[in-house]
Amino acid sequence: MSLWGGRFTEEPNGFFKTFNRSLDVDYKLVKQDIFLSIQWSKALKKIDVLTVEEQKKIEIVLNTILKEVEINSKIILESQEEDIHSWIEKKLISSLGLLGKKLHTGRSRNDQVTTDLKLWCKYKVQKILNNIYDFKKNLVDLAEKNQRSIMPGYTHLQSAQPITFAYWCLAYLEMFKRDESRLKDALYRLDECPLGSGALAGTAWNINREELSDQLGFRTATKNALDSVSDRDYVIELLSVASISMIHLSRFSEDLIFFNSGEVNFIELSDSITSGSSLMPQKKNPDALELIRAKCGKVCGNLLSNMILLKGLPLSYNKDMQEDKKSLFEAMDIWINCLKISVLILKNITLNLKNCKKSAKKGYTNATELADYLVKKGIPFRDAHHLTGKIILYASKLNLSLEQIELTEFKKYSKLIEQDIYKNINLDSSLKKRNSLGGVSFSQVSKKIALEKKILNK
Ligand code: ARG
């Protein structure tokens, strides 16, 4: 019999029952639902709906169920129940008979499901924060080891100016610091307890909701029951934080795929995290990075599907909301797994320093230095830029780097150019000059690494 037998005279159609079920997804909320039910039974005891003995019995049975599922939560899936809430209630009733039927007094599956889901989110966010921490730590470690590894930085995927691999690592560090802070913000907002909201208008029983919220470990209780049972902002907020972070991981992957390509050859990934080709013996493919890039699409898609799920839903609870969990669970697991594999990748990168440096010198990455040199000699920047362009045109026709141009040749473009031009346009000076806050100079980077290590060790 279902939870609502009284009003119905017909048995549900078999296919409808299957279509209506969510147990195969929400069984993952079993621990949260048991914890919630124990706290609810205590709240009912305080208002004398349950006696002290009755509450104790309920708590003991709920804990026994918890032990059972801790060994193997998949046993839940053998049942035909509609969802995890009805599954637990059925188990309670089969152990305690009439007493088991008292637990649902004053609550609804509407406030129950969103409280469970928020508890699950709080648990999962903590896991994700730990994984972000690991990723950040490995970025800083790798940066520290590669402070002198000069390579080209790109715009439009064209060599632009020299940077270092450490600096590249620190760029991703900034992105993941923002992800972390967004996640903490989202956590703060979702940390309000909806239990005690009833079906939609509040519970008719004199429950102390602030106390209940405390017991369940929430920051505070929600303030409007109609909103409480229909709010799924936290689901789309977490999914959007996940999507942004997955976009970061996807860009990280794309950069590394490029650095790893045969043409560029800046890095090598160790055998343990790459795979070969079934046909071409020479291949060593960056599969893990490609998979991260692809999985980003799945997470963004799940955000979109949840936003569309909510769009136009009337207040308050609608069964549509049952569909939010699968995509949230899936996205959070993808995110965690991609962070984990990214840590593994960071631990398995070797730099091809010679190639990096050789590339940094190619493509006139010191053109800005030449323009800046002319500015220092008194030429306005626009004209200096134009003049430098002309010199590069000349050099590229003869396949020369700027350093290879003779001083007499330079002087044809500007009399102001002197012998000191050469020390102004070499790689080291280009890096050294960018010493303002956030710049690429060795000294800025090493200061930043020291600061970040301190923050990580706190
Ligand atoms: N399985 C449902 C869900 O996930 C639980 C809430 C059911 N409430 C209801 N009024 N039918 O949303």
Which CATH architecture fits 110-150+163-357?
Up-down Bundle (1.20)
- % of the chain at pLDDT higher than 70: 98
How high is the pLDDT of residue 3?
A: 66
Please say if 386 is a catalytic residue.
no
Q: Among 7, 36, 113, which is best to mutate for testing ligand 1, by the most ligand atoms less than 8 A from CB?
A: 113
pLDDT tens by residue, 403-419: 999 999 999 999 999 99
Q: Which residue among the candidates 2, 94, 181, 277 is catalytic per the annotation?
A: 277
Which of the pair, 11 or 92, is modelled with greater confidence?
Answer: 92
Measured in Å, residue 186 CA sits from the centre of ligand 1 at 24
Looking at 27-126, which runs of residues are DSSP E strands?
A: none
H or E stretch covering 269: strand 267-269
Q: Would you call 156 a catalytic residue per the annotation?
A: yes
CB-CB contact of 266 with 355 (8 Å)? yes
How many CA atoms does the CB half-sphere of 105 hold within 13 Å?
A: 20
Question: What integer pLDDT is reported at residue 430 of this predicted model?
Answer: 92
Residue ID of nearest Cα to ligand 1 atom 2:
322
Summarize pLDDT for 78-116 with one digit per residue, the tens. 999 999 999 999 999 999 999 999 999 999 999 999 999
Report whether residue 329 contacts ligand 1, using a CB cutoff of 6 Å: no
Task: Specify the ligand 1 atom closest to the Cα of 82.
Answer: 1
Please state the rounded mean pLDDT for residues 142-148. 97
pLDDT of residue 273: 84
Q: Is 345 touching ligand 1 by the criterion CB < 6 Å?
A: no
**Considering only CA atoms, which residue is closest to atom 12 of ligand 1?**
322
Cα separation values, 202 from 196, 212, 284, 448, Å: 6, 14, 60, 52
Domain regions of the chain by residue span: 13-105, 110-150+163-357, 361-457
Q: Which CATH number fits domain 361-457: 1.10.40.30, 1.10.238.10, 3.60.21.10, 3.40.50.9100?
A: 1.10.40.30
In this predicted structure, the answer to whether residue 121 has a pLDDT above a threshold of 70 is yes
- For all residues of the chain together, what is the average pLDDT? 95
- The Å distance, Cα 82 to ligand 1 centre, comes to 9
Whether the pLDDT of residue 256 is over 60: the answer is yes
Interval 146-165: pLDDT, tens? 999 999 999 999 999 999 99
- From the CB of 26, is ligand 1 less than 6 Å away? yes
Reported as a single tens digit per residue, the pLDDT across 16-28 is: 999 999 999 999 9
Q: What share of the chain is helix, strand, coil (3-state, %, to 5)?
A: 70, 5, 25
In the predicted model, what is the mean pLDDT of residues 427-447? Answer: 95
pLDDT tens figures, 192-209 = 999 999 999 999 999 999
**Per-residue confidence (pLDDT) for residue 209, from 0 to 100:** 98
Return the CATH fold of 13-105: Fumarase C; Chain B, domain 1 (1.10.275)
Question: pLDDT at position 342, please?
Answer: 98
Residue 215 CB–ligand 1 contact under 6 Å: no
Local structure of residue 363 (DSSP, 8 states): T
- The rounded Å distance from CA 35 to ligand 1 centre is 18
Q: Say yes or no: CB of residue 81 within 6 Å of ligand 1.
A: no
pLDDT surpasses 80 at 253: yes
Rounded to the nearest angstrom, the distance between the alpha carbon of 204 and the centre of ligand 1 is 20
Better-predicted residue by pLDDT, 366 or 305: 305
Q: Specify the DSSP class assigned to residue 318.
A: -
pLDDT more than 90, % of the chain: 91
Residue 1: pLDDT band with limits 50, 70, 90? low
- Between the alpha carbon of residue 343 and those of residues 136, 273, 363, 392, the distances in Å are 9, 11, 32, 41
Q: Can you list the positions of beta strands (E) in 108-194? A: 150-155, 158-164, 192-193
pLDDT value of position 2:
66
Q: Find out whether the beta carbon of 317 lies less than 6 Å from any atom of ligand 1.
A: yes
Arithmetic mean of pLDDT, 223-247: 98
Residue 244 has pLDDT above 70, yes or no: yes
Mean pLDDT for 109-138 is: 98
